[in-house]
Amino acid sequence: MATLKDVARLAGVSVKTVSNVVNGYSFVKPDNRRRVEEALEATGYRPNLGARNLRRGRTGFIALVLPELSIPYFAELAGLVIAAAQDHEWNVLIEQTFGTLAGERSALASLGPHLVDAAILSPEALQVDDFQLPVPAVLLGEHAVDVPISRVGIDNVAAAQAAVRHLISLGHQRIAAIGAHPHRGTAALRLEGYRRALAEASLPFVDELVVPALNYHRADGAAAMRSLLDLRNPPDAVFCFNDLLAIGAMRAAGERFVRVPQDLAVVGFDNNEESVYSSPSLTSVAPDKAAIAQAAVDLLHRRVESGDALENVETPFSLQVRESTVAR
């Protein structure tokens, strides 16, 4: 493998100049920079990241702590975080907690400056006292706990409100919600958006139309939908707090010969790939997952490098309208 000395010899400059170029310092003369870059290309030199991190007191790793990789949203987000982390020469260690308090506490206990430089967290059950972190961190999404940690995510209330407004605009008046959960901060926010959309349309909030989901899997959505269809006056539309719940709900509706969207309109949340290819295709709230991942990694990098002040970054979302609400 080529060394800094090999590059310096070919470029006709000092090893220090080569090191300055490799490390991105700006005070290198343009002609020297050009010669070094050409020599780097010619020799195929690759920096020894392990040695560099050791000199800087870094590990070269960040942790990504997520509830469940079997949920497509988190799997997609993990891939995007890994891609964004490469821009900062970070490797990513992924911890899966299943959204339990014990799992999340165990994941936090494993973090430390000897293992990772920083962490991106998506907790569901942690309490305020649990956030005694040994490394810089960024939270994904909005949570019920109020802790002095930077956050990145969408406005869940506004996103849920947009989804329910869409259903109301189509003439639906008995709109159900699937996904209420006592410990998920995002669930409470999406329920609040649901409430606000109903209130602004002067539609009543009906307790029997709000069905909880212990997990956000297809089976939970199907079970919730069956209970709604058993009501004396079933809903004519349903807003599901993630796409898997919505896919399960549509399956249960089909088993009862309830047509989507003719008899029942369905909206999901997350805009996973499955929502495009389901039959009918699923209308879904689409967070900009790439923007979330990039903002989280960039914010984390600034925290590690310069200890920037805490920051909350709100990323955009859209509503992708498909066949589950508007028949083609």
Residues 28 and 69 in one domain: no
Same domain, residue pair 180 and 296: no
Cα-based distances in Å from 92 to 40, 81, 135:
27, 8, 15
Write out the residue range of the structural domain in which residue 76 sits. 58-153+289-316
Of residues 99 and 262, the one with the higher pLDDT is 262
Residue 98: φ, ψ to 5°: 60, 20
**By three-state DSSP, how is residue 199 classified?**
helix
Average of per-residue pLDDT values in the chain: 89
Number of domains the chain is built from: 3
How would DSSP label each residue in 197-239? Answer: HHHHTTPPP-GGGEEE-SS-SHHHHHHHHHHHHTSSS--SEEE
Look at residue 327 and tell me if it is in a domain. no
**Highest mean pLDDT pick, 51-60, 107-116, 226-235:** 226-235
Do 283 and 163 reside in the same domain of the chain? yes
Q: What 3-state DSSP class applies to 137?
A: strand
CA angle 236, 252, 212 (to 5 degrees): 75
Which amino acid does the sequence have at 230?
D
Pairing of strands 312-314, 150-153: parallel
Tokens read off for 97? 């907690």
207 and 225 both lie in a single domain: yes
Q: Which residues pair with 211 in a beta bridge?
A: 178
CATH number (domain holding residue 237): 3.40.50.2300
- Residues 234 and 208 grouped into a single domain: yes
Q: Are both 23 and 96 inside the same structural domain? A: no
pLDDT, tens digit (0-9, with 9 covering 90-100), for 43-54:
887 765 544 544
Taking residues 69-87, report their average pLDDT: 93
pLDDT in tens, 155-201: 999 999 999 999 999 999 999 999 998 777 789 999 999 999 999 99
- HSE, CB side, 13 Å, CA atoms: give it for residue 209: 20
Residue 53, domain member (yes or no) = no
275 and 296: one domain? no
Q: Are strands 175-180 and 150-153 parallel, antiparallel or unpaired?
A: unpaired
Shared domain check, 263 and 164: yes
> For the ranges 69-73, 132-136, 200-204, which has the lowest average pLDDT?
132-136
In a domain, 161, yes or no: yes
Pair 203, 229 in one domain = yes
Q: Which residue has the higher pLDDT, 39 or 282?
A: 282
The pLDDT of residue 321 is above 70: yes
